Structure 1
């Protein structure tokens, strides 16, 4: 094989490699993610379909309106707790008064006892929900207030006692309790307060000794009658409407979970980042990830990946009928080439597990292609030198005597 044929072969390979590089540099050259054009095309090979939405003041307004409503949105009854009712297992104290001695409970002999009343030994409400009062029989107690029980006792003995009155009190409360557990200093289960003096969520947590960790990493879950809602602890402090009244039977679970987001592409740093606050905006998140790389990033191609509820997606103009899931994959685009984009970024609140992706500038991809071509050319040059050396060596052998 002559040096000219070798050169011709490598020239063809070089032209082929260059053509491939120019035609599909995103496939040939290394990259940290898709190009902005690929994202905007909304074509996906293996992942789910997604929607691309440009961040505008109108879009930001919709997102702000549909931010999670916390406890206030889940439990809409703002009234203080109703009166405490008795339950099975509660220990009840009953005292019966008569207007004069000589009646049903009070002996006729003066001075036998101080005061015209008798206190019945404490008793627990039985499994059928009753207590027993002498001469009155079984009195329904479970699910009733103290006043209702008192009236029932008086009604039963009215015709036998002298102008009777009864006082019913909770001696030991074993139902109508509020539980606070999890990441609190002294987990507690305590009786609910009487009507008109109810505790709120923060009061209940205070009774349990307060939270153990930082407020921004602490979450509070309230369970009531099979329904649950969760809110950041600092939201209870910053948004008083979420600090709702607790009710008998409520369970409050406090736990710690740092909110996080991820950054990829041409950001200053790639990886997973903690909020270190109960909420941050998109501008703060980009700054926390090191901003944009000046030599690599396309400031006009910053993308926020997240899943939005169907109702929010519909408000954004997305055809939600294409999707069966409760949440819709949405990529929000924002341009930091626009000076106003930075102001807009401060209005977009980040959510846990959001992803920020910054695309490379097209000039970066062109540079990668040129580097690829330079490598191919250098390789072909080395091969040509090797071929020439081999040819000279063979010729020298033939000329040798």
Structure 2
């Protein structure tokens, strides 16, 4: 009767999984994990910046750009000048913004190209324009509100917004600090820089471990701080069955099992820890010792934690985004269910006999 009804299961047992292998006319390759397999499958996301990002020099704060706000003061060597009031020979122009075409307007000097010039070069241009209007003019050009070159920061950061590229904030790390730093754990923070139609992504920790990744910013850069979106699924005889986010850049099978509370001591089979994955052909071929496979292959990796090197293999086997970790039940657990089912089926019969006096 028990055999006919079938016992409740968390999922397939080891025998059923092995029965679905390609070797037994199934559609998945079942592979035992060893040192060679751990090396062949140890693939982690490769982030970084292209040469166009890393070779860009620092933006100099001396060059005027569209959007800059400038202050001007013009001195005239006459009592009754073009711009100044009677008795005053200095005329301050508090704020003038460089327009999108790169020009500013100065009375009596007209439209003057400011973009691309230093403040001193702009001063000479304005002076030469005014020299024909008033004798020996003197001009001062100064910045009022920092650079017009800006970058935007969004995502998991202290202060989202648009920030000017100023002398102290010309690099990625400095700009992140200016915006209040990240608001998520450093181990799972990813930084994306979008520049035109190009983008580069790095781990936040790598930004400080590798100074070459602290790139110089460019006007219009968009910086996005995100939490690592990778996850794996844990099923079977584990303390937790759930979709679990990664907690570090690299995650081993042993760490993944620890994240879900480990194996259930009373029901799990440490010889039947399986990792299900769609493996690209460039990895599946070396794992299987073949060269003819094309496209993604269904792979089932088997970890036996009771082997002498089983824990080492689990420690070295890298879990990747989308993996499913499945732990089978121990035969003892099935035997316990059988006994419980038999004992449970006898209890009502005994109760009926007691009531009838049989």
Cα deviation digits, residues 281-311 of structure 1 (max 9, x gap): 3212223334334554333321223455676
Is 1:207 aligned with 2:209? no
From 247, 253, 262, the equivalent of 1:291 is 262
Structure 1 residues 318 and 146: alpha-carbon distance in aligned structure 2, compared to 1, 3 A threshold? farther
In 2, are the aligned partners of 1:259 and 1:276 still within 8 Å (CA)? no
Higher mean displacement: 149-158 or 337-346: 149-158
Higher mean displacement: 28-37 or 86-95: 86-95
In 1, are the aligned partners of 2:53 and 2:215 still within 8 Å (CA)? no
Larger helix proportion of the pair? 1
From 156, 163, 166, the equivalent of 1:193 is 166
Which residue does the alignment assign to 1:69?
Answer: 46
2:14 and 2:102 mapped to 1: Cα distance? Answer: 69
The alignment covers a number of residue pairs equal to 337
2:118 and 2:29 mapped to 1: Cα distance? Answer: 59
From 104, 116, 125, the equivalent of 1:153 is 125
SS in 1 for 2:151: strand
Question: What is the deviation of 1:275?
Answer: 5.1
Name which one, 1 or 2, has greater alpha-carbon Rg. 1
In 1, are the aligned partners of 2:150 and 2:165 still within 8 Å (CA)? yes
Cα deviation digits, residues 88-128 of structure 1 (max 9, x gap): 43324568999xx89xx99xxxxx969xxx98775323344
Structure 1 residues 54 and 204: alpha-carbon distance in aligned structure 2, compared to 1, 3 A threshold? farther
Question: What is the deviation of 1:254?
Answer: 3.2
C-alpha RMSD over aligned residues: 5.1
Is 1:264 aligned with 2:235? yes
In 2, are the aligned partners of 1:136 and 1:153 still within 8 Å (CA)? no
SS in 2 for 1:70: coil
Which residue does the alignment assign to 2:104?
Answer: 131
Question: What is the deviation of 1:37?
Answer: 3.9
Which residue does the alignment assign to 1:359?
Answer: 328
SS in 2 for 1:189: strand
Higher mean displacement: 120-129 or 176-185: 120-129
Q: Kindly report which structure 2 residues correspond to 1:295-310, keeping only aligned pairs within 5 A, or say none.
A: 295-306=266-277
From 39, 42, 47, the equivalent of 2:17 is 39
Unmatched runs of 5 consecutive residues or more in structure 2: 83-87
Structure 1 residues 62 and 224: alpha-carbon distance in aligned structure 2, compared to 1, 3 A threshold? farther
Cα deviation digits, residues 355-379 of structure 1 (max 9, x gap): 32112345655x3796599589969
Question: What is the deviation of 1:244?
Answer: 3.6
SS in 1 for 2:276: strand
Which residue does the alignment assign to 2:38?
Answer: 60
Question: What is the deviation of 1:192?
Answer: 1.0
Structure 1 residues 69 and 75: alpha-carbon distance in aligned structure 2, compared to 1, 3 A threshold? farther
Unmatched runs of 5 consecutive residues or more in structure 1: 1-13, 22-27, 107-111, 390-401
